[in-house]
Amino acid sequence: MFLNILILVGLICFSSHRFRQQKKVKVKVEFTKKPFLLNDSLVNKLLTQKLEARSILNEDSLDLNMLEYQLKTVPELEKVEIFVTPKRELVFELTERKPLFKVIADRLFYSDINGVLFPYKKFDSINFPQFVSSSSSHSLDTTAILIDKLYKDSFLSREIKSMYKQNNQYIIDLKSYNFHVILGKPNNLKEKIKKLKVFCAYKNSQDSTKKYKKINLSYNNQVVASTQ
């Protein structure tokens, strides 16, 4: 019995000594691009919430795959890479998702260019175009690609206010015009954008008295305008 106690005490002392001798690592957070939604303090808070302090600080017990898996559950992060430098720095290299548009569904979200949703945060200085959807579970891949293409046009990047789908057709609301723009399916965009800009220029210069309710760009080589 006494021998067993001596062995147990010896093991405890050895374990305690080994724990004190474990190599400590310094945590370093780096963003691949200037962050928009997150910052170092928020990331450190996330690390504290999701990861065990011992796993972070002790090099011998590091499980980089586990750490990476945990951080990939943060919806604002698109890419996570974790590595230890020769100077024993535990580096978290993070790529944040870039908001492309706001999604109004059962609650508010942002969507990135891949149609991936993540939590909405209000910014007074930036107005994102909004897409109205009946449910956040609907796929937004096609919508994200469409909005990205439309936003590459300087006129539309200033004018798009909101967008929604009705009868499998995309409909756009503009900031400076009260009519609905029926874009139709997301094809022939170059032609449709050209027709829209010509129509808006015509309305500005010659036809400002007519109050159109909607214009349809889905027909070939023409714009169908309606006051109904």
Report the CATH number at residue 182.
Answer: 3.40.50.11690
Q: What is the pLDDT of residue 127?
A: 84
Residue with tokens 């796993």: 55
Q: Please tell me whether residue 191 adopts helix, strand or coil conformation.
A: helix
Q: What six digits make up the tokens of 148?
A: 């990205």
pLDDT > 70 in the chain, percent: 78
Helix or strand (DSSP H, E) at 111? strand 108-111
Residues 106 and 36 in one domain: no
Cβ-contact 172, 186 below 8 angstroms? no
Q: What is the pLDDT of residue 52?
A: 54
Residue 6 is part of a domain; what is its CATH number?
A: 3.10.20.310
Average pLDDT score over residue span 40-55: 62
Average pLDDT score over residue span 151-167: 95
| Highest mean pLDDT (candidates 27-36, 71-80, 97-106) | 97-106
Q: What is the pLDDT of residue 10?
A: 35
In the predicted model, is pLDDT for residue 1 greater than 80?
no
In the predicted model, is pLDDT for residue 181 greater than 90?
yes
Identify the domain boundary among 96, 114, 140. 96
Residues 177 and 195 in one domain: yes
Cβ-contact 62, 84 below 8 angstroms? yes
Identify the domain boundary among 62, 96, 130. 96
Identify the domain boundary among 54, 79, 96. 96
Give the integer Cα–Cα distance in Å for 97 and 40: 15
Distance of CA 165 to the CA centre of its chain: 21
In the predicted model, is pLDDT for residue 124 greater than 80?
no
- Within a 13 Å sphere around the CA of 214, how many CA atoms are in the beta-carbon half? 12
What pLDDT band is residue 12 in, cutting at 50, 70 and 90?
Answer: very low
Q: What is the pLDDT of residue 25?
A: 67
DSSP code for 97: P
DSSP string for residues in 112-180 = -TT--EEE----TT----EEE-S-TTS--HHHHHHHHHHHTSHHHHHHEEEEEEETTEEEEEESS--SE
- The residue among 189, 171, 187 whose CA lies nearest residue 179 is 171
Sign of the CA dihedral running 42, 43, 49, 50: positive
Q: What is the pLDDT of residue 92?
A: 85
Residue with tokens 């957070």: 29
Q: What six digits make up the tokens of 91?
A: 């580096």
Q: What six digits make up the tokens of 64?
A: 């980089």
DSSP code for 75: T
Residues 131 and 74 in one domain: no
In the predicted model, is pLDDT for residue 128 greater than 50?
yes
Residues 35 and 119 in one domain: no
Q: What is the pLDDT of residue 20?
A: 40
In the predicted model, is pLDDT for residue 190 greater than 60?
yes
Residues 134 and 83 in one domain: no
Residues 59 and 91 in one domain: yes
- State the total domains in the chain: 2
What pLDDT band is residue 166 in, cutting at 50, 70 and 90?
Answer: very high
- Which is it for strands 108-111 and 117-119: parallel, antiparallel or unpaired? antiparallel
Cβ-contact 195, 163 below 8 angstroms? no
Average pLDDT score over residue span 167-173: 95
Range of the domain at 27: 2-96
Distances (CA, A) of 211 to 118, 205, 217: 38, 14, 17
Residues 59 and 110 in one domain: no
In the predicted model, is pLDDT for residue 21 greater than 80?
no
Mean pLDDT of the residues in the chain = 81
Q: What is the pLDDT of residue 64?
A: 75
